[in-house]
Structure 1
Amino acid sequence: MFHLITRKIMKNNYSRLKWVALIILGGIIFFLSKAATAATTTSLSLQQQEVSGIVKDQSGLPIPGVTVTVKNTNRGTITNLDGEYNITAPADGTLVFSYIGFKTAEIPVDNNEEISVLLEEDVASLGEVKINAGYYNTTERERTGNISRVTAEEIELQPLTSPLQALQGRVAGLEVVDQSGVPGAAPTIRIRGQNSLRNSQNDNGNLPLYIVDGMPINSGPVNSINQFTSGIGTDPLSGLNISNIKSIEILKDADATAIYGSRGANGVILITTKGGSFSGKSDRIEARVYSGVSRVANFVNLLETPRYLEVRRQAFENDGVEPTVSNAKDLLLWDTDRNTNWQEVLFGRSAPTFNANLNYAGGGEFTSFNIGASYFKQGSVFPGDYSFEKTTANFALNHQSQNRKFRLNLSVNYGLNDNSLFSSSNFVRTALNLSPNAPRLYNEDGNLNWEDSSWNNPLAALEGEGEAKTNSLVSNLGLQYDLTKSLTFKANLGYNLLNSKENILLPIETYDPAIWNRVSNRSQHSFVNRISWIAEPQFHYKKNKGYHNIDALVGATFQENNNDNLVINGTGYSDKQLIGNLNAADAVSVNNDRKLVYKYQAMFARLGYNWNRTYFLNLTGRRDGSSRFSPENRYANFGAVGMAWIFTNNLFFSEKLPFLSFGKLRGSYGITGNDQIGDYRYLDTYESTPGPGGLYPTQLTNPSFTWETNKKIEGALELGFLKDRINLNLSWYRNRSSNQLVGYALPAITGFNTVEANLPATVQNTGVEIELSTLNLKTDQFKWRSSLNLTLPSNKLIRFDNIDQSSYANAYRVGKPLDLGILYQFNGIDPETGYFQVVDINQDGRNDFDDRTAIRNLGRKFFGGINNQINYKQFSLNFLFEFVKQKGSRYYNNVPGFLGNVNEESVNNSSEDGNTSLQRPTQSIFGFIAYNNANLSTYGITDASYIRLKTLSLGFQLPEKVTGFIPSSEVQLFVHAQNLFTLTNYDGLDPQNPGSLNLPPLQSITGGIQINF
């Protein structure tokens, strides 16, 4: 049974709240005394007078929408757009100034006719957190769309290569799954489920849009020929410095994503890096250093030698077969007293981790800058001296004219990844499969031991060399000029470069010397080059008149991506020293040589209107053009509408529900497209023949296919209780993606497998998201915040006309989730053979796909995270639990009785127990088929739910008497743990990715120091 500890209350993620100019509270929220006595009433002088003034913040900016009341009366007003107010009050009365985001101030009238006030910011209030919505900014209080925000404080200490990995368990509706614990490997990212039937690495229609400082990044994993990341790819964001990220916003619903058109069909992830600010404060330097170790947290419970040999001998006895040198070398040739834990040998090392980060911010009133650099290095848990190194540099420049009409924002982020992690074999798979009494790795002379060619020595892979270097540059220039008080012209100009080069050198020493006469020295080379640019001119209009507030924009997007991929193999090098020099190879072959160009153009517009900061309407429209469609289908229109009502601005609710400090209803509906398909698929394509002068077709033309359509609808309720000490957000969503763009299967007689086409299929994702944050306790020295996010998703294929006649009949079922298993029905043990058996549904005497009628949902039933932040004097403690309820594939690497190890749970504890639910050990092909069928049946599905302590951070800020020798300094010591422990019943390496035999996410412990001065 999977249990959650829901009684822990959650942390408010918004630890610092800032007032944003012209974000106005459109209503009056104040409570009247219900028991005002006559004496209190008569204490006010009968003499009345007019009082006026201006309310400003600490920066001297006027604050519109401030509530001004006469204490102990029902008389009140609000400040206008210039912060001005006018009210009639008793000469000896008291004025109360209140505004969300600021501390309430009480000022005696004392016969004064003019009273101006500076309000002090209250960082503990809800609603004035500035949120990046892409082309515009909003606040947590006034947003009409579903936008989640993660701040730098939550992720900057995590020893990870990708900022996306730091989001695990922190955001409702966001699934982040590590496909491998190898540094740099791309995780799987889904925002509110799988929308497209295309779900492979090279043809994935479910990728969200990544935007770094306004520059879109190709979110597809970078192709890799490394054995550890092959089929997974590397993360295109791994070149970013996590410590330089200011915030990450996740845009989910139609209202939030429609401004990005088809690019935002699967959600948008906005990454904002740290920049300068016009604060006028002195320059600041931030230095952070930490080091520690990482390791695999869990090993599979494999058999040790005595039990393993017992199972092997029993297999031969059960089958009535005599062990021989050819079929039982582990019994007859290898040392039966040797016992090796190959998991510890091949991926059980501790990997050292080191990070250093330096950042300098300075400037003045009109020009500010931020410059920084970082170095990250993580060793390997595998044999060999391998490591992953990342060096980054970042620069940000902000400038404004003296009249503040012109602004310039420049950001540049550069990263260099140097990954020497290489293997021509997968050490994890090998370690899980090797017999515990397999031969020793080295002979007494120090050479590799091949045990008379009776096995493949796994360390032979170390004789090869490999390296992957990736350079990435993300730059953006934002220009802004105020044409009038209400009209602003903006231009967003971005450039992105990613260059990846992999070289793998494979001498004949990676093979058994007995076959050196049949192999040759060879090399593999991969080159990936991605270049993209974007230009977006925009006009922004903002006008406030009385209770009416308009915020509008119109703009255009011009974007181009150039992607080059080249894979070359060289063979027949005469000498080991020449491997990699293609000029010295006997033969050179090109496996892949593709040059792809993608062009995108769009016009977009947004109209935001609110009345008295109470009723909100947001209209968005976009016309997209994509080069991936034929000219007649190249353009399409998309749009959305979002609405919100802050009902607690109504006096009825504030009087009847005094405990409710904030309440908002919001909803949205919109249509977006999706063009995440390969380039040129509407054309006939050709490649050159191996011989000179020839071409052959590789793709059939189909100019008729068009955009996928994604219809999104959402309704939400947001509540704040007890002066926003408790905040609850409830969201319901439904996304329907139709007109699916997939490869339509063709008969073999055509010479092609598929042709691109729209299929009459509709995928639906629905769900409920719950977000709860609480301020549990707050005193002068102690503060405890908690937060919870919980997602209950549901994915379903609700329509697919004539699916039985398509190639997808073996993969999907109408009315069932996309992430499902179509399985045999497990039928226990065959009493005659002792093998697993499955039900022969059609009773034709064989087991084939027609017998696979059992359906199991392998997606997540619910997932989320529980976070707590505790501060006591100079101490801080932060920890996050991630939890997932799901089914997954059972751990399976070998058949009990075959050569190769198995886990303890797959064999009987007593060989004489005849009443068993496990297949008897066997080494026959019939037993192999039976066991394999069982793992393709309901038997092969198990509970893969887990609760994981994802992060744990403990910090201590040194007192001033210790740090006094450094002027204006703050020194903090910290310890951080990642994946500290996992509670699960899953018997494989990692329940997050059940069934995988890749390296699981590593457990790490680091400690360091941060100095700010």
Structure 2
Amino acid sequence: MKNSLENTSVMRLCLLLLCIFISPPNYAHLPHGHCFHDSQILGSQQHYLLTGTVTDSYGPLPGVHVLIKGTDAGTFTNTKGNYSITVKGSETLVYSYLGYQTMELPILGRTTMEVELLSEVTELQEVEVNAGYYTVKERERTGSISRVTAEEIELQPIVSPLEALQGRMAGVEVVQSSGVSGNAPTIRIRGRNSLRDEGNYPLYIIDGVPINSAPIEEYQNIFQNGWDPLSTLNVSNIESIEVLKDADATSIYGSRGANGVVLITTKKGTGYNQKTQVETRWYSGFAQVGRKMEILNTEQYINMRRAALANAGREPNPDNDWDLLLWDTDRYTDWPEELLGGIANITDINVSTSGGNATTYFRLGGSYHKEGTVFPISNSYNKVTAAINLGHTSENQKLAINLSVNYGVDKSEASGVHSLVQKAYQLPPNAPPLYNEDHSLHWEEWKYSSVYDNPLAAQRSIANGQGNNLLANLGLSYNLFPGLSVKTNLGYTFNIRATKTKNPNTIVAPQLREDIKHVGAQNYQKRLTWIVEPQLNYRSTIGKGNVDALLGVTFQQNESDGFGIRGEGYVSETLIGYMPAAEVYNTYGEGRYVQYNYNAVYGRFGYNWQKKYFFNLTGRRDGSSRFGPDKRFANFWAAGFAWIFTEEPILKQNFPFLSFGKLRGSYGTTGSDQIGDYQFLDAYEATPGPNGLYPTQLFNGDFAWEENKKIETALEMGLLNDRITFEVSWYRNRSSNQLVGYPLPAITGFTSVQANLPATVENRGWELELATSNIRSTDFHWQTFFNISIPRNTLLRFPGLDQTAYANVFREGYPINIRLLYQYTGTDPDTGLFQVMDVNGDGTFDYQDRTVIKEMGRKYFGGISNNVSYMGIGLSFLWEFVKQDAPKPFVFGHAPGDPYNRHVDDYNEWEDGDLYIESSLVAKRAYNLDQQSDRSIIDASFLRLRTLSLSYDLPKVVLKNTGIKNFRIFCSAQNLFTISPYPGFNLDSPSNTSLPPLRMITTGLQLNF
């Protein structure tokens, strides 16, 4: 009863009135947040002096603003929490204090009002968290659910909403491997469960509708990880993102939740009986490469090249050493600055309107986002989105309808993106200029090189991509009887991605164009999903506890189609891409229609006893068309328990500083069917000649679901009226019955068949989340949030590993993200060349000699953020930290002495006598072995200022009579700077040569009408 009184203003007022008329004048036993004493009751219209005291659970509160509602008359409490104000008995007082819940109380003729305010931090325990098929209060959840809200997302200059999770959630690893907008980030929730990369995607659900989380394939390799399926979402239209991690939270999704669930909820109307409101937001700024490697200048480069030739005992020749004989050895170009040093402009505009009456609400919104490029060639990214949300409740409160529609279109133009990054660091510093005096591309000097051409030649190779994404959801619910309701969720998604690529022969030197034809290609990918989920919900009170149960059915169908066409031999560059004009054309890619059917029955039974003990049982029976007839169905379940021990009387009496405490745990199973469709069937393809077929896939109707068993225990605590809160969790996930390609003897005509192998992958670890309210005063508020994850991944068992194709990839007892390396033994005292150990002494170097095992994954990661506010000024910033090892920068894969630039550290080692260089095959082989030894693995940890935001809200007094409710000026930054010992430029994905995440700085305005 107390909790409901604290959170329902209507019941507060009812109880207050009841106390006034039944038992005046003593109100000492009213719950917190209510006045509890008066000396006398005066008339409602006469003015008189009212006095009182404002406290919290620890004593008097100075600086509380006491305002007469509807007027500008007010006062503040003094250092002892006392106040006095002239009032009428019919007026209402509003008590407000930063960090506490605002309270409105009618005076009702009293002369003394003493109030105890509740910390707004405790409201966190009452927040409704989206658990997918149901919602649960934060304090009552039994599963592991992390959450970020619109305030943390909407002002960030990002394209993918997943980028907003970086450094903010324990157990959630988001890697933005490329700075090219639209490229899919990689997300892992509590590690890798499958041996296959494509078997580790989480489930994405947007407003109740699941979407395919696998990146959209791009056969032209514009995007290194493929297109992001979330790129067409409007980040400013997102209300919250919840990530479900443990079995209790994910098992209700069965096989789809094996790798965790990402729930995205879009914004809805402002609520019932609200005037129409308009919100506009605009920001503009720029992006640039924030981290570059230090490479050799011309003098250093020439010195190393000549020394390498001298050590090899040969003179330079034009065929191999054009950089020394044919290029100007005094020329210097800073190629990273020349090719990657541009400024990419960013513009974002967002407009929305919302409102409602007693039964209906609405929200309409749209946005436009545009980004340029840092490359000196034409690249751009544009996105336009629109969203509508409508809700209606019948007057008798029985029927509720909600419609949510999101539509987005994004376009990109990319030209030679990946090659430019690598060339920027490999080109000799004395390479020829890019342009002639007339600003045409320079070719003459480049023709001498057998490995280079003009880097900007790729600007004529243009790939234009466009994505169209529609996501719609209709929710219907009807209350049959008190506590019993029926609900139906209808969802539909339609995603099309089309790319057109033009490769004219002008991308090569003029003297080579005669033998090269114009080439054009078109690529098309389509994804369609519909889902129908009827559901029964039941809520009731049994004894001193409450029951919350549901039963539902899922009918889901996915369709996908894709093909590519490549044509060549166009007579004119203007005709490139028009396939009938090609001399010859052929198809590539899948080129086939695929349908996936998924059905399930699921249920949940939740019970809490006295708001103190909580039990949660979930179960699901899944059916998937990806398995053979006898293996299509499987059962998954989970049980969760929580005990709020601070509700025990003995703790309340003896530990007043302990405001909240909960123990929880869960155990259950999920599964996975993340394999290709129709993998259990025989498959054939047509032969090039007429009337012929040849087999491409063997039948195996016995392979079945992967199974993931999850266990977790956690402790949640709140101290000093929740001024300090923390949650520490331990988890262990074991994924077995791994779906992989089982190797077959070549005599069968096939190299493998899809099968289950008895391999078990374990992910375990610790997670800690800490929140503190450091300072709470009238004008100043400072909060800190910290999280850290310490994951451990192990391949527990893999019988027969040596007989599979994974023999040189995995090792039992080690993580699955390892590298097998040679043991570095130093340099040969006679030759000066690098040496590695020949373990078996057979004179050759192969995987039998790779006895050193190094883990490449993150050993721990997390973030620390701070939110500070003072007199309308807001400052927030997030530091992200990662502990990891990685290979030396991949871009320097060539041996020192070759005609490629180097990191300056190599020059320093050479000058100090620690690095021997020689331009010979023997030296190159020695260097390649060194690159595959434990010497090549170095520390790639980093500390990054991931986000920084500064804002100012104009005072209400200034905005009075303008019609503007809120006017905010803000400045935001992403990836401002990074501290790391790693010499490479891409710390998020050190082994890649893709563009690193960019530093972005934007400024903007937000107006609410």
Tell me, in whole angstroms, the C-alpha distance in 2 between the residues paired with 1:657 and 1:832: 74
- Give the letter aligned to residue 404 of structure 1: Q
Deviation (angstroms), 1:531: 0.5
Instruction: Decide whether aligned partners of structure 1 residues 314 and 619 sit closer, same or farther in structure 2, where only a CA change above 3 A counts.
Output: same
Tell me, in whole angstroms, the C-alpha distance in 1 between the residues paired with 2:455 and 2:418: 8
> In structure 2, what is the equivalent of residue 939 of structure 1?
935
> In structure 2, what is the equivalent of residue 351 of structure 1?
344
Contact 1:58 / 1:120 at 8 angstroms: preserved in 2? Answer: no
Contact 1:227 / 1:424 at 8 angstroms: preserved in 2? Answer: no
Matches within 5 A, 1:150-229: 150-199=148-197, 204-229=198-223
> In structure 2, what is the equivalent of residue 342 of structure 1?
335
Deviation (angstroms), 1:1010: 0.4
Deviations along 1:458-511, whole A, 9 cap, x unmatched? 111112222000001111111000001110000000000110000110111011
Among 696, 699, 720, the alignment partner of 1:698 is 696
> In structure 2, what is the equivalent of residue 745 of structure 1?
743
> In structure 2, what is the equivalent of residue 95 of structure 1?
28
> In structure 1, what is the equivalent of residue 274 of structure 2?
281
- Give the letter aligned to residue 36 of structure 2: E
Contact 1:598 / 1:628 at 8 angstroms: preserved in 2? Answer: yes
Tell me, in whole angstroms, the C-alpha distance in 2 between the residues paired with 1:762 and 1:887: 25
Among 234, 239, 244, the alignment partner of 1:251 is 244
> In structure 2, what is the equivalent of residue 674 of structure 1?
672
Matches within 5 A, 1:845-884: 845-884=843-882
Could you list the runs of 5+ residues in structure 2 that have no partner in the other structure?
42-103, 107-115
Deviation (angstroms), 1:97: 3.8
SS in 1 for 2:747: helix
> In structure 2, what is the equivalent of residue 474 of structure 1?
471
> In structure 1, what is the equivalent of residue 485 of structure 2?
488
> In structure 2, what is the equivalent of residue 659 of structure 1?
657
Tell me, in whole angstroms, the C-alpha distance in 1 between the residues paired with 2:362 and 2:117: 27
> In structure 1, what is the equivalent of residue 371 of structure 2?
378
Instruction: Decide whether aligned partners of structure 1 residues 311 and 390 sit closer, same or farther in structure 2, where only a CA change above 3 A counts.
Output: same
Contact 1:886 / 1:944 at 8 angstroms: preserved in 2? Answer: yes
- Give the letter aligned to residue 28 of structure 2: L
Among 128, 133, 136, the alignment partner of 1:135 is 133
Matches within 5 A, 1:601-620: 601-620=599-618
> In structure 2, what is the equivalent of residue 908 of structure 1?
908
1:1001 aligns with 2:987: no
Deviation (angstroms), 1:963: 2.6
> In structure 2, what is the equivalent of residue 38 of structure 1?
none
> In structure 2, what is the equivalent of residue 241 of structure 1?
234
> In structure 1, what is the equivalent of residue 899 of structure 2?
899
Deviation (angstroms), 1:353: 0.5
- Give the letter aligned to residue 963 of structure 1: L
> In structure 1, what is the equivalent of residue 454 of structure 2?
457
- Percent identical residues: 49
> In structure 1, what is the equivalent of residue 393 of structure 2?
400
Contact 1:226 / 1:423 at 8 angstroms: preserved in 2? Answer: no
- Give the letter aligned to residue 243 of structure 1: S
SS in 2 for 1:60: helix
Deviation (angstroms), 1:369: 0.4
Deviations along 1:800-843, whole A, 9 cap, x unmatched? 11211221111111110111111111112122222211111111
Instruction: Decide whether aligned partners of structure 1 residues 734 and 107 sit closer, same or farther in structure 2, where only a CA change above 3 A counts.
Output: farther
Among 567, 570, 583, the alignment partner of 2:580 is 583
Tell me, in whole angstroms, the C-alpha distance in 2 between the residues paired with 1:854 and 1:521: 48
Deviation (angstroms), 1:961: 4.0
Matches within 5 A, 1:784-863: 784-863=782-861
SS in 2 for 1:583: helix
Instruction: Decide whether aligned partners of structure 1 residues 698 and 56 sit closer, same or farther in structure 2, where only a CA change above 3 A counts.
Output: same
> In structure 2, what is the equivalent of residue 5 of structure 1?
none
Deviation (angstroms), 1:425: 5.7
SS in 2 for 1:276: coil
Among 780, 796, 802, the alignment partner of 1:782 is 780
Tell me, in whole angstroms, the C-alpha distance in 1 between the residues paired with 2:17 and 2:991: 65
> In structure 2, what is the equivalent of residue 60 of structure 1?
10
Tell me, in whole angstroms, the C-alpha distance in 2 between the residues paired with 1:448 and 1:91: 92
- Give the letter aligned to residue 908 of structure 1: N
SS in 2 for 1:997: coil
SS in 2 for 1:631: coil
Tell me, in whole angstroms, the C-alpha distance in 1 between the residues paired with 2:754 and 2:649: 58
Deviation (angstroms), 1:906: 2.1
Q: Which is worse superposed, 217-226 or 777-786?
A: 217-226
- Give the letter aligned to residue 608 of structure 2: N
SS in 1 for 2:139: coil
Contact 2:377 / 2:415 at 8 angstroms: preserved in 1? Answer: no
Deviation (angstroms), 1:965: 4.8
Deviations along 1:651-682, whole A, 9 cap, x unmatched? 11112212111000000000111000000000
1:266 aligns with 2:259: yes
Tell me, in whole angstroms, the C-alpha distance in 1 between the residues paired with 2:947 and 2:329: 43
> In structure 1, what is the equivalent of residue 84 of structure 2?
none
Contact 1:55 / 1:117 at 8 angstroms: preserved in 2? Answer: no
Tell me, in whole angstroms, the C-alpha distance in 1 between the residues paired with 2:315 and 2:352: 70
SS in 2 for 1:469: strand
- Give the letter aligned to residue 711 of structure 2: I
**TM value normalised by structure 1:** 0.89
1:954 aligns with 2:950: yes
Tell me, in whole angstroms, the C-alpha distance in 1 between the residues paired with 2:154 and 2:119: 25
Tell me, in whole angstroms, the C-alpha distance in 2 between the residues paired with 1:866 and 1:602: 40
**TM value normalised by structure 2:** 0.90
Tell me, in whole angstroms, the C-alpha distance in 2 between the residues paired with 1:457 and 1:952: 39
Tell me, in whole angstroms, the C-alpha distance in 2 between the residues paired with 1:711 and 1:888: 30
Deviation (angstroms), 1:162: 0.2
Instruction: Decide whether aligned partners of structure 1 residues 424 and 390 sit closer, same or farther in structure 2, where only a CA change above 3 A counts.
Output: closer
Tell me, in whole angstroms, the C-alpha distance in 2 between the residues paired with 1:992 and 1:615: 43
Tell me, in whole angstroms, the C-alpha distance in 2 between the residues paired with 1:719 and 1:424: 49
Deviations along 1:280-300, whole A, 9 cap, x unmatched? 121111100000000000111
Contact 2:272 / 2:360 at 8 angstroms: preserved in 1? Answer: no
Instruction: Decide whether aligned partners of structure 1 residues 443 and 971 sit closer, same or farther in structure 2, where only a CA change above 3 A counts.
Output: same
Contact 1:707 / 1:739 at 8 angstroms: preserved in 2? Answer: yes
Contact 2:658 / 2:719 at 8 angstroms: preserved in 1? Answer: yes
Tell me, in whole angstroms, the C-alpha distance in 2 between the residues paired with 1:910 and 1:214: 60
> In structure 2, what is the equivalent of residue 440 of structure 1?
433
Among 337, 344, 354, the alignment partner of 1:361 is 354
Tell me, in whole angstroms, the C-alpha distance in 1 between the residues paired with 2:29 and 2:777: 25
> In structure 2, what is the equivalent of residue 885 of structure 1?
883
Deviation (angstroms), 1:401: 0.4
> In structure 1, what is the equivalent of residue 111 of structure 2?
none
Tell me, in whole angstroms, the C-alpha distance in 1 between the residues paired with 2:19 and 2:172: 48
Deviation (angstroms), 1:540: 0.2
SS in 2 for 1:703: coil
Instruction: Decide whether aligned partners of structure 1 residues 85 and 218 sit closer, same or farther in structure 2, where only a CA change above 3 A counts.
Output: farther
> In structure 2, what is the equivalent of residue 33 of structure 1?
none
Tell me, in whole angstroms, the C-alpha distance in 2 between the residues paired with 1:412 and 1:772: 36
> In structure 2, what is the equivalent of residue 516 of structure 1?
513
Matches within 5 A, 1:629-648: 629-648=627-646
> In structure 2, what is the equivalent of residue 410 of structure 1?
403
- Give the letter aligned to residue 748 of structure 2: T
- Give the letter aligned to residue 213 of structure 2: S
Instruction: Decide whether aligned partners of structure 1 residues 779 and 982 sit closer, same or farther in structure 2, where only a CA change above 3 A counts.
Output: same
Deviations along 1:615-669, whole A, 9 cap, x unmatched? 0000001000000001100000000000000000001111221211100000000
Contact 1:303 / 1:904 at 8 angstroms: preserved in 2? Answer: yes
Deviations along 1:314-356, whole A, 9 cap, x unmatched? 0100111211000100000001111111111111101000000
Tell me, in whole angstroms, the C-alpha distance in 2 between the residues paired with 1:953 and 1:921: 48
Contact 1:25 / 1:613 at 8 angstroms: preserved in 2? Answer: no
Deviation (angstroms), 1:545: 4.0
Instruction: Decide whether aligned partners of structure 1 residues 762 and 307 sit closer, same or farther in structure 2, where only a CA change above 3 A counts.
Output: same
Deviation (angstroms), 1:909: 5.2
> In structure 2, what is the equivalent of residue 6 of structure 1?
none
1:568 aligns with 2:565: yes
RMSD: 2.2
Q: How many residues align?
A: 930
Contact 1:523 / 1:580 at 8 angstroms: preserved in 2? Answer: yes
Deviation (angstroms), 1:922: 2.3
